[in-house]
Structure 1
């Protein structure tokens, strides 16, 4: 502790007010020294009435630290003496007990949180607030529990759930993967701001995701009474100011000022420890593998690139029918991944034949239509025209008896260079006894990889946004306990945060996120406490596509986060307010111009 009584990451443990784990924690649990320090830090902020951000690296046990803090609150509570009205440290100014406490988590970590409470502090009572059973829960009944656990999606979808949490009026509100609250314009940010609580804590291994404005938004969320008014608006103005990158002197000065301000602002409210500083962890080795494009894929990519850089109306019709139904930036990224994410094989005439055969052979229920009226037939055809080759392939599989002869060639999806390379890597890992997590941003890509592994006879587990919450934890347990399963397929959104998957020591990032922290979090599912082997992260990049530009832009954003967190000097040579898409588009336009002139 320093002369002001503040807890530093390097504090001597003998000086800490709480020198051992709370008595309500399981006897077999041992808090590591940095976790005990984290408990003291949370306890100090709580006692002073300040909220905060626990921003330890992923894998350092933020869940365990939070559970220890809840246990400390409950452990230290003593009912007030009715005669003298004295209050103990564990209660609020009104003598109320320090519960219920609300914890909001992503759906993918919900079951894990329940399991971790049972493992670390089984005497802490936890009420699950999720699914249809939650409708029978009364707020007054919930107030008797130490913790109410729910998910972001649960609160986001139903207004009645927000009303429940408002009536609950939790003592502490804790938000796992709290970088989800980086944008004050989102519905979940607005809803969570309306939940009253005495204290707030955000958990995030990546408090700076894309730019410094997002950091201010997170700080405003945890301490809205401090980060408001003229001072807050002045900071926003500084972080939003634009200086042309050609003006090197002013650009560098502004970048330095921004980073310096960010460090000063963060210091009182954030505790961040890096894995390398507090534990002896296995190495993490990263490498990029560059692959080429399939000829069909190059045709698609070039067409979408032309559409993206110029006007959508200039794109040729037919070859890339899917582009008109989606964001062209997303379509461009998909084109760099796999050709069957678009419709080329299934021409309009083939689709018409498919619909005719299905219409004459199948019932309304089988085709998911209300009736056999002509208008519903036209709607089915219109729906087919919006689907990709691989989506239409799944229809041909399901109705093989009627339209199987119109399907794409069997296993043709394996011809894409990225898929070929993935199979090569996985087979190599199987020979050496390694196990791998494969991440993609797109569920359809996971579907392609699922079929690829199935036909290759390679066992796998799978977790995507379509996986039911009740099935997620069993799927994780299955992969963890069964060493004969070499591959776990995950979408970055569903499986990239909060999970402990140290059974794997290889990571394949099949495609990249615009937000570099998404991929950092994904890779850290395996690189965390409990990992005994070195972890290798392989990033697959398609040559001469936007993927290389995305990678370079993301590296700059990671450098910004490192500067603010104090790993490097207060420098920065890029405009952190420029999105990855904006930067990539500028570079592609420049390349296109040089190509025409050259």
Structure 2
């Protein structure tokens, strides 16, 4: 609407719109749908395709109103960056503008060099971790105003704590008021309740899960193991702490994400068997070295390996029933049939692609029709998957990774969201929730968060 109004007023561009890779196809569709008069050039694809676009712009004088591209393309190779530095744009629009929250990043520095008279940032989550991120966005939008004043702004924003309003000192409240005054001329904020008053209600439920006995044993063994390790050392490095925490998260999600069913003795036998396989035999692979390689794999990966070399390792394939040995899956056993009975449709999110692999097998065992999209899904295929889900009501579940599937896509055909594992950053989960709680949604939306009790999930 904004670009169409500019066009009516005689300002035909050229403008540039920079978006995440997962949304470029949807942006192109919406531009063609709502303002077909705009001539849009897409700068995306292989090196050859991008070179052809640059040639038509620089040497053939191709005219256009909007150049549509992605963050990766705009900050890619030297040839890509030259296009955005040399070309004079009227407006530069940045979708999911919170991707510019770090002014020290290479992305921020490269995109600052885009030559544009005005800049617009579009974001539903301008603040994710701290108020300094807002400062980065302000510096990006109006560098001529804020350049050289970053130290002062840092002091203003950094002195504001995260405590509740009642606990804030008068000094902090004054700082907040000052920060709001600084931002007011540059921020246009619209809440759902302001612009989407007829949007159906959204309800959130926390579903508490109990680890199944075998899973509890795995979790307890990790507690014992790391308690002893920490007790033997005087200090724990930050990276080591993160690694330990991640192991606990895996145990809470699904025990197959760790190695406990494939013991060292079983790996030794497997290594001897697979060393007879021709490709291993030809290169003289030693059973001991094969075992070392397998020892870092988890149960799910090892079972997949056994399926790959079924002739040699078939007897070591795990029983299909182990897929269901998870506290969260036990809850899904009762939740999914209830949702299916009500004709609800589900977006099921996980942060871990291997967890999505396990969920795929689980849904196949249960006979549910599903689709999947994650960071490995080719960008050209993503819009086709989204369209299929929106147009085929018998697809019950859409499996999505929180990062790839939680950004800028429209899945209003679903009315239920299940967060299998919550993100470290709650704003990423909020983004995921908004995939179906948005304009076009006609049913009430329900959010289910699966949390394992007495684990790191809590």
When the two structures are superposed, what TM-score results if normalisation uses the length of structure 2?
A: 0.88
Q: Counterpart of 1:424 in 2: which secondary structure?
A: helix
> Which residue of structure 1 lines up, in the alignment, with residue 94 of structure 2?
175
Q: CA–CA distance in 1 between the matches of 2:61 and 2:263?
A: 57
Cα shift readout 1:406-425 (whole Å, capped 9, x = no counterpart): 12221312110101212322
Q: Which shifted more, 175-184 or 346-355?
A: 346-355
> Which residue of structure 1 lines up, in the alignment, with residue 236 of structure 2?
none
- Pick from 83, 102, 108 the counterpart of residue 22 of structure 2: 108
Contact 1:142 1:168 in 2 (8 A): no
- Pick from 41, 66, 71 the counterpart of residue 127 of structure 1: 41
Shift in alpha-carbon separation, 1:405–1:155, aligned structure 2, 3 A: farther
Q: Which shifted more, 166-175 or 482-491?
A: 166-175
> Which residue of structure 2 lines up, in the alignment, with residue 292 of structure 1?
210
* Alpha-carbon RMSD: 2.9
Shift in alpha-carbon separation, 1:381–1:76, aligned structure 2, 3 A: farther
1:400, distance to aligned residue in structure 2 (A): 2.4
Kindly indicate whether residue 5 of structure 2 is the aligned counterpart of residue 69 of structure 1.
no
Q: CA–CA distance in 2 between the matches of 1:283 and 1:505?
A: 11
Shift in alpha-carbon separation, 1:242–1:346, aligned structure 2, 3 A: farther
Kindly indicate whether residue 251 of structure 2 is the aligned counterpart of residue 335 of structure 1.
yes
Unaligned 5+ segments in structure 1 are: 1-67, 78-89, 91-96, 316-322, 549-598
1:525, distance to aligned residue in structure 2 (A): 0.8
Q: Counterpart of 2:145 in 1: which secondary structure?
A: coil
Shift in alpha-carbon separation, 1:238–1:472, aligned structure 2, 3 A: same
1:505, distance to aligned residue in structure 2 (A): 0.6
1:173, distance to aligned residue in structure 2 (A): 1.5
Q: CA–CA distance in 2 between the matches of 1:340 and 1:144?
A: 55
1:161, distance to aligned residue in structure 2 (A): 2.3
1:298, distance to aligned residue in structure 2 (A): 3.0
Within 5 Å, which residues of 2 pair with 1:38-77? 68-77=1-10
Q: Counterpart of 1:327 in 2: which secondary structure?
A: helix
- Pick from 265, 277, 281 the counterpart of residue 194 of structure 2: 277
Within 5 Å, which residues of 2 pair with 1:327-476? 327-363=243-279, 372-374=283-285, 381-476=291-386
Contact 1:110 1:151 in 2 (8 A): yes
Within 5 Å, which residues of 2 pair with 1:537-576? 537-548=447-458
When the two structures are superposed, what TM-score results if normalisation uses the length of structure 1?
A: 0.69
Shift in alpha-carbon separation, 1:196–1:244, aligned structure 2, 3 A: closer
Q: Counterpart of 1:137 in 2: which secondary structure?
A: helix
Q: CA–CA distance in 2 between the matches of 1:163 and 1:312?
A: 52
1:164, distance to aligned residue in structure 2 (A): 2.9
Within 5 Å, which residues of 2 pair with 1:297-312? 297-304=215-222
Runs (4 or more) in structure 1 with deviation over 6 Å come to 242-245, 306-310, 323-326
Contact 1:411 1:452 in 2 (8 A): no
Cα shift readout 1:442-495 (whole Å, capped 9, x = no counterpart): 111111111100111100011101111111111111111110111111011001
Contact 2:215 2:325 in 1 (8 A): no
Q: Which shifted more, 339-348 or 325-334?
A: 325-334
1:336, distance to aligned residue in structure 2 (A): 2.2
Q: CA–CA distance in 1 between the matches of 2:162 and 2:371?
A: 48
Cα shift readout 1:111-142 (whole Å, capped 9, x = no counterpart): 11111112111221212222212232224258
Q: Counterpart of 1:73 in 2: which secondary structure?
A: helix
Contact 1:294 1:416 in 2 (8 A): yes
Q: CA–CA distance in 2 between the matches of 1:143 and 1:312?
A: 64
Kindly indicate whether residue 146 of structure 2 is the aligned counterpart of residue 227 of structure 1.
yes
Q: CA–CA distance in 2 between the matches of 1:123 and 1:510?
A: 43
Contact 1:212 1:262 in 2 (8 A): no
Q: CA–CA distance in 2 between the matches of 1:163 and 1:434?
A: 49
> Which residue of structure 2 lines up, in the alignment, with residue 199 of structure 1?
118
Contact 2:156 2:179 in 1 (8 A): no
Cα shift readout 1:307-343 (whole Å, capped 9, x = no counterpart): 778866959xxxxxxx989733333333321111111
Q: CA–CA distance in 1 between the matches of 2:350 and 2:23?
A: 18
> Which residue of structure 1 lines up, in the alignment, with residue 83 of structure 2?
164
Unaligned 5+ segments in structure 2 are: 234-238
Contact 1:308 1:332 in 2 (8 A): no
Cα shift readout 1:277-330 (whole Å, capped 9, x = no counterpart): 232110001110101113343344345556778866959xxxxxxx98973333
Kindly indicate whether residue 433 of structure 2 is the aligned counterpart of residue 517 of structure 1.
no
Cα shift readout 1:249-302 (whole Å, capped 9, x = no counterpart): 6x5445434432332222111111111223211000111010111334334434
How many correspondences in the alignment? Answer: 446
1:193, distance to aligned residue in structure 2 (A): 1.8
1:389, distance to aligned residue in structure 2 (A): 1.4
Shift in alpha-carbon separation, 1:306–1:74, aligned structure 2, 3 A: farther
> Which residue of structure 2 lines up, in the alignment, with residue 117 of structure 1?
31
Contact 1:143 1:168 in 2 (8 A): no
Q: Counterpart of 2:253 in 1: which secondary structure?
A: coil
